Every structure is written in C-alpha cells, then in structure tokens.
A and B are shown apart, each in its own frame.
Chain A
Amino acid sequence: MAPVATPFFFYFLSGLALVSGILVITRKNPVHSALALILTLLALAGIYLMLYAPFVAGVQIILYAGGIMVLFLFVIMLVDVGRAEKERQFNKQWLVAIAATLGLGILFVKVFTASKTLAELLKRPLAQLPETSNTQQVGFSLYGQYMLAFEIASLLLLVAIVGAVVMAKKRI
C-alpha cells in the first residue's frame, strides 16, 4: 500500500494547523475563534494519521472536535458576544508574552539541535510500525504497562466531575 506520509500532506496539514491556530488568537468574535480551533484540531488529527496512529486520530476527532468543541460553542453562544467584541483584544501582557516566546524558542532550538544527533540514531532500520493492530497496541499499553497511571488519570477526572457538580449546585 502506498504511504500517505508524503511531504505534501505534512506541509499542507501543518500549514493548515498554523494558519487556523493564528486565526484562533486574532479573531475578535469568540465563535470564529472556536471554529478556527476546530480546524486546527482536525489538521492535527490528519498529522496523527500520517504518523500511523489511526486510533489517536479517531479519538482526536470524536473527543476534541465532536465533543469538547461542541461544549465550547454551547457555552460561547450563551455569552453576550456583542460586549466581548467591544473589549480590547490585548491586555498589555507584552512582558509575559516575550518571556514565554523566548522560553519556547530556546526549547525549540534545543530540540532541533538535539534532533541532529537523533537523526543519526534513527538511521538504524525502524521496527515495523503496527499500523493494522494500532488500536490493540494502545490497549495493551494502557491496560498493561501504564495501568496505574491510566487509573490515576481516570480517578482524577472523576474527582473533577464531582467537584464541578458540587460547585455548580448549591443543594444536591
């Protein structure tokens, strides 16, 4: 089967993710921002698919694009959009922004220089990627090797749900 991981698709998807990511922070209307964010998430799902991780791509679409973003839109639509649009977009956080950008930039440069040596490491032939049994491999990892971490994460989510209900309701 022909590989889909061609450079064209990579540049197309990452370009889409970047452009829509920029749209998320530049649109004044929060609904437009949310829609751009959905596009970013879909582009990322495409990149996961290119990395031979179809299960992660499917879950990304179901949970983020189909579930969480719908709830985002649900909440945004209840907010008075007209007032939010009149407010100033930027809150004079230049100092924080520059610091964050510098930190992230240094991290990127470090990763890039480290990957030079990593590239030599990767010249060895890779193990055959388990594309067809991808979902099963994810299952084995989650319920085998990383069982404890997985259960702790699910417990954390349960606590978060209970906490949200307690905070939202005066009388239960």
Chain B
Amino acid sequence: MLDYITSYLKSDATPGAAGNMLWAFIYIMLIFLGLSIAVIAMNWLERKILAHMQVRLGPMRVGPHGLLQPIADAIKLLIKEDIMPAEADKAVFWMAPLIVVTAAFTTFIVVPFGPQHAVTDMNIGILFMLGVSSLGVLGIVMAGWASNSHYPLIGALRSSAQMVSYEVAMGLAVVSAVLMTSLHGAGIYATGGSNGMGTLSMIEIVKAQQEQQTWFAFKFFPLGLMAMFVFAVAMVAETNRAPFDLPEAESELTAGFHTEYSGFRWSLFFLAEYSAMIAVSSILVTLWLGGWLRPFPNLLNGPTWDLVFSLFPGLMFLALAGLTFYSTARMPKMRYFRVQTLGLAGFGALLGLIGLILFIPPVRDRIQDIYWFVAKVAVFMYLYIWYRGTFPRYRFDQLMKVGWKVLLPMGLGVLIVTAIVGVL
C-alpha cells in the first residue's frame, strides 16, 4: 500500500498516463483546493489593487489590511437567503450555475503545471480545453433566459454573440501556435529540434518549446507575439471581463445575466468567472510562454543557474513572510488590535515555514515547474485587474468591430504567414 502511494513520487508521467487512480484523485483535489484559494485571493487582490489604482484604501476592516474580507464575504453569501423568481423556469434556473462551474473546473484536467503535474495528458488537450470552456456560455445563456426578466435576457444575448464571435479569433491564434510545434523554419527563423509531427497535447506543446529552445511568443518574430496578442485580447472577451464586460454592464443592465441570482448560486457564477480567467490564462502561458519552463534557459544556462532559479519559490515565500513581519511591526500598538497583530504574525510564520520547506532539494526539484507556471499565470491575472482599472467599457458595435474586423483578419493573416515562413 505504502509502495503504491510512494511509487508515483518517482514517476515521470502524469497520474493519468501512469494509470494511478489514487494520485489522479489527489491531483484533482489539490487543483480544486488551489483554485478555490486562488479565487479567494483574486477577490481580495482585485479589490485592493483597484482601490490603490484609484487612490483608495479598499477593504481595511476585517482582519489586517482586510485580509479576511473574502472569507467574511463567502460566509455572508452562504447564509444569505436564496431567492428564485416566481416566474423563473425552475429546472433551467437551477442547472445554469452548475453547468458554468463544471465547465470552468473540468478544463483544469489537462492544464500542465509541470511535465508530470497534470491530472492527465490528452492527445487532443488544447481542443478539449477550448471545447469545454466554450460550454460555459451555455450556462450563461440558460441563466439569462431562465430568469424570465429583461436585463438577464439582454445580458445573455450579448454574452452568446460576444463569445461565439471571439471564439473564432481565439481558435485561429491557437492553430498558429499548434503549427509552430511542427515547423522549424530556416535562416534567421531557424530553431532547434528536428521537423516532426505537430501535436495538440498540452504537455507536448511545452516540450516542443523546450526542444526548439524558444517560447512560441518569440518564434518567427513578430508572428508569435501577434498570435499571442490576438489570443490575449480574445480571452478577455471570452471571460466577459472589463473592458469587454457588456454581458454584465452594471451601468445599463444592473448585473447582466446573473441579476436574478443571489446567495450561493451567485457565488457559483463568481467562482466560475475567476476559474475561467485562470483557465484561459493558463492556455496562453502553455501555448506561447513556455508553460512550466523557467525564464532565460538559453542565456543563463548551466547547473549553477539551474540551482539559482530553483531557489526562487522558497525565496519568494520568504520575501512574503518578511513583508508580513514588516506589516506586523507597523500594526497599531493598541489592545484592540492585539488579536489581529498576532494573527498576522502567525500568517507570516506560516509563509516562512512554507518557504523553508520549499528549499528541501527533493521538494525544490518537484515544485519549481509548478512555481514558474503559476507565476506566469499570475502575471495575466494581474493584467486582468489592470485592464479593469484602465480601459473604459466598449460599446457593443465597437466590440463586434474589434472581434470581426481586427482580430479575425489578424489571426488569419498570422496563421497564413506562419505556415509560409515555416515551410520556406
């Protein structure tokens, strides 16, 4: 039994490929837990960062610097009365949030956090991710229709039109990245590796970037960057986030498709929105930014640099712990704040402990893939917040114009030119 459990720790395959049910289950649970924590953290970060961008303080009351605010919000949502409109289509109204959440979470089965850190590796991985995430729009449309109210219906109509339009541009950008897995170019565009078959598997795509010694964002300059740009814009529209958040434009549609939802059902929509954001960001990171590969593998190579880069996760946690201790020292010295100060110090100690654990060599080797992947995804999650604080919302005709007249031709052009450059 113990052998069965520990045997996986030395394996180089994903639990799905190794056929190890126990570890597949553990991975699913870990991803579920990690995603929930990430969504909670994003909730707090978004409010804090937006507030600081607008020269406000943001949540400050619950816990030091409002750290416990998302937990308080979650408790409030759970014990809130769950209202279902009398004229709503009960069954569809009930199913809609479940479909949205299931679609958003299922995509993470194939997300490659490392060469062996994915639940499973499918040979249609990227197709699977796009397909399942496109099922999420069904839940949004169902929610809008089942509410039997005007604002949600308009929100759902906008959402379906928007998502179907941007999926086309997104698909073209993805195809150009898949093309790059098999094409190696010539002349100034020549990359390492040998000409082979292309692949749709998420892990193989990253391995192709490793073999060609270039991230696809920088391959066939500027074609890779252009495809990444198309995807990066389309993914914001696909997740209904600002500046493309017309389905829930609060100034005109109250809250769009989830106007009639409250309590737990509403929080499911919230959870699904943020996990969908993480899912599309991880597609982008996998396809163009080298997935779990560490930065500068060509420039700073050799065992010394490998060691230095593998210390990053532990150092980051230690830095966070240091920041927390600094904040603890700056807490007001009053009896009223004593519990908060102690809590913050405890949190800092926890972060420091995690940092120290991450320095242990076996853990370090195993964890650094996950660290680089998550760090790259985190950059895009920050960009989402930044977009929201910077760009004003598009009008619907402008949104359609951007989708069909800018991104689609650009994606098509990049695809054709990539193919030509690749076979030259």
Q: Is B50 an interface residue (CB 8 A)?
A: no
Chain B 375-417 interface 0/1 with A at a Cβ cutoff of 8 Å (1 = within): 0000000000000000000000000000000000000000000
Q: Say how far A88's CB is from chain B's closest CB, in angstroms.
A: 22
Q: Is A135 an interface residue (CB 8 A)?
A: yes
Chain B 114-144 interface 0/1 with A at a Cβ cutoff of 8 Å (1 = within): 0000000011100110111011011001101
- Closest residue of A by beta carbon distance from B168: A67
Q: Is the CB of B134 within 8 A of A66?
A: yes
Q: Is the CB of A62 within 8 A of B127?
A: yes
Q: Is the CB of A35 within 8 A of B200?
A: no
Residues of A within 8 A of B131 (CB): 58-59, 61-62, 65-66
Residues of B within 8 A of A57 (CB): 124
Q: Is the CB of A77 within 8 A of B134?
A: no
Residues of A within 8 A of B128 (CB): 58, 61
- Which of B19, B122, B141, B198 has the most C-beta atoms of chain A within 10 angstroms of its own C-beta? B141
B138 touches which of A54, A55, A73 (Cβ 8 Å): A73
Residues of B within 8 A of A69 (CB): 138
Q: Is A132 an interface residue (CB 8 A)?
A: yes
A77 touches which of B124, B157, B167, B200 (Cβ 8 Å): B157
- Which of B89, B123, B161, B164 has the most C-beta atoms of chain A within 10 angstroms of its own C-beta? B123
Kindly state the separation between the CA atoms of A54 and B199 in the bound complex, as whole angstroms.
13
- Which of A71, A77, A78, A131 has the most C-beta atoms of chain B within 10 angstroms of its own C-beta? A77
Q: Is B308 an interface residue (CB 8 A)?
A: no
A61 touches which of B122, B132, B142 (Cβ 8 Å): B132
Q: Is A11 an interface residue (CB 8 A)?
A: no
Known: A67-B167, A136-B198. A73 touches B135 (CB 8 A): no
Chain B 133-175 interface 0/1 with A at a Cβ cutoff of 8 Å (1 = within): 0110110011011000000010011001101100100000000
B19 touches which of A1, A32, A78 (Cβ 8 Å): A1
How large, as a class, is the contact surface on chain A?
A: 20 to 34
Kindly state the separation between the CA atoms of A131 and B160 in the bound complex, as whole angstroms.
34
Known: A70-B141, A70-B164, A74-B160. A65 touches B135 (CB 8 A): yes
A73 touches which of B127, B132, B145, B197 (Cβ 8 Å): B145
Kindly state the separation between the CA atoms of A59 and B130 in the bound complex, as whole angstroms.
10
The secondary structure that dominates the B interface is helix
Q: Is the CB of B123 within 8 A of A73?
A: no
Q: Is the CB of A131 within 8 A of B127?
A: no
- Closest residue of B by beta carbon distance from A73: B141
- Which of B89, B124, B127, B156 has the most C-beta atoms of chain A within 10 angstroms of its own C-beta? B124
Interface residues of B in 4-52 (CB under 8 A from A): 17, 19
Q: Is B319 an interface residue (CB 8 A)?
A: no
Known: A54-B124, A62-B134. A31 touches B160 (CB 8 A): no
Q: Is B349 an interface residue (CB 8 A)?
A: no
Q: Is the CB of B92 within 8 A of A67?
A: no
Q: Say how far B330's CB is from chain A's closest CB, in angstroms.
A: 50
Residues of A within 8 A of B167 (CB): 66-67
Q: Say how far B205's CB is from chain A's closest CB, in angstroms.
A: 13
Q: Is the CB of B135 within 8 A of A66?
A: yes
Q: Is A14 an interface residue (CB 8 A)?
A: no
Kindly state the separation between the CA atoms of A135 and B204 in the bound complex, as whole angstroms.
14
Q: Is the CB of A31 within 8 A of B134?
A: no
Q: Is A43 an interface residue (CB 8 A)?
A: no
Kindly state the separation between the CA atoms of A65 and B128 in the bound complex, as whole angstroms.
12
Interface residues of A in 99-149 (CB under 8 A from B): 131-136
Chain B 221-244 interface 0/1 with A at a Cβ cutoff of 8 Å (1 = within): 000000000000000000000000
Chain A 56-97 interface 0/1 with B at a Cβ cutoff of 8 Å (1 = within): 011101100111011101100110000000000000000000
Q: Is the CB of B161 within 8 A of A74?
A: yes
Known: A35-B142, A55-B124, A62-B130. A70 touches B137 (CB 8 A): yes
Residues of B within 8 A of A55 (CB): 124, 127
Known: A31-B145, A136-B198. A54 touches B123 (CB 8 A): yes
- Closest residue of B by beta carbon distance from A45: B131
- Closest residue of A by beta carbon distance from B91: A32
> 12 A-B contacts, Cβ less than 8 Å apart?
A31-B89, A31-B145, A54-B124, A66-B167, A67-B134, A67-B164, A70-B141, A73-B138, A73-B160, A74-B160, A135-B124, A135-B127
Interface residues of A (CB under 8 A from B): 1-2, 29, 31-32, 35, 38, 54-55, 57-59, 61-62, 65-67, 69-71, 73-74, 77-78, 131-136
Interface residues of B (CB under 8 A from A): 17, 19, 89, 92, 122-124, 127-128, 130-132, 134-135, 137-138, 141-142, 144-145, 153, 156-157, 160-161, 163-164, 167, 197-198, 200
Closest 7 CB pairs between A and B? A66-B134, A58-B127, A61-B131, A62-B131, A58-B124, A54-B124, A74-B160
